[in-house]
Structures are given as C-alpha cells and as structure tokens.
Amino acid sequence: MAVENGDRARQLADEPQDESRGSWRVLVAYVLLIAGRALPVISIAVVMWSALTRNSWSSAPLDDAGFTTALLPNLAATLWFCFSLALPFILLPVGSTVLSTRDDDQLTVATVLGQRIVDLASARTWRASLPGRGVDMQIVLVRSRTGWAILAASNFWLDDGHQVLDGRDSSSSFRPGAVRRRARGWMLLMIWALFSFITFGVGGSAAGTF
C-alpha cells in the first residue's frame, strides 16, 4: 500500500510542460500568490482603521438597506469579503500546480505561507473535486513524513490537462472514485462557505459596516 501511494504521489508531481510555465497561467498564479500574502495585512489594517475612526463617519447618510454610505467602512467590508473567500488559501499551505516543481522524489510547492517541501517516496494523497461547470477544480492533499501541502489545479487555467495531477485519469467524470471525490468536494465547499460567512460577519461588525 505504501508503494502504491508513493507511485500515485509521483504521478501527481509530474512537472508541467515548459510551454505551460511560460504561459499567462504562471503569471496569474504568481499574482494570486502575492495577493494572498498582501490581502490579510491590508484587510486587517483597513478594518482597524474603520473601527478606530467610526466617530468621523458614523454621521454619514444610510442607503435604502440601512447601511452606511461612508467610503471607509464599505471599503473595509469589500476587502474583508475578499479575505473571507480566500481564507483557506491563506491559512493553509495551498499552492497552484503550475508553481510546483519536482526534483526526483522531492516536491516543492509555493504557497502563501512559503515554500513547502514534501518527500514523494513516502507520500500519501487525498483528492477532492470541487463542483463547478467547466472548471473541474481538483484539490489534492499530499502528506509525508517530511511535510504536507495542498495542490490546486484546473484544466480551465491552472494546469492544462492536469499534468501534475495525473492527467491520465482526468478524462472521464465517471471513472472509479469520481463520485467519492465530488462528495468530498461538496463537503469542502460547505465548510468553506460556513467559515467565510462567519469570518465576514466578524470583520464587518468590527469595521462598523453593519
């Protein structure tokens, strides 16, 4: 079983084609990586600024829904909403497959939390397919004795043909295990939505937006 899991992990970490690395997908992945590192700092700073200056904008008129029309608390709410949606990618070692490299049995994944290195020789994987039309997002947890990371890939823009995620079994949605992976994806999506909703509510209240 350990050998089989090691083989699957090696398939998962097949290095992307050179042409993919020179494409716009890599640029987008780098931009998202940098944004993921900057977003928490900016969001927290603006929320705190809004909370500390509440007396200066609290007299602003309200809209039809009863929310303030002041710029600062609405900016804080917008930034915090983006932060809430991106929360799993910020707090967990999630990396795009196009920014992941393999050197023999060593997988290096660039994440918001920094580089993660996983020994593929002893690695085990856990897969989930997030629901969506045309995107086919796959999430793969790779863990070994030396560390762990989460790979995200999509044939829409992150990874053509799931090169890193073993493209040989990505052609059919009815392949063995597909239903279980999609069930896991729905579970992750519901947990993601719940924590995002809670985080957004806490940040919006702290900023004084509502």
Residue numbers of the chain with a pLDDT score lower than 50: 1-22, 160-162, 165, 167-176
DSSP 45-65: HHHHHHHHTHHHHTTSPB-TT
Helix (H, G, I), strand (E, B) or coil at 130: coil
Q: What is the pLDDT of residue 137?
A: 78
- Residues 164 and 53: beta-carbon distance below 8 Å: no
Question: Which pair of structure tokens corresponds to residue 95?
Answer: 């990396």
Q: What is the pLDDT of residue 159?
A: 52
Q: Considering the entire predicted model, what is its pTM?
A: 0.75
Q: Which helix (H) or strand (E) holds 150?
A: strand 147-153
Check residue 15 and report its DSSP letter.
P
The alpha carbon of residue 141 and the mean position of all alpha carbons in its chain are separated, in whole angstroms, by 12
Q: What is the pLDDT of residue 19?
A: 47
For residue range 127-155, what is the model confidence (pLDDT) as tens digits? 888 876 655 678 889 888 888 999 888 76
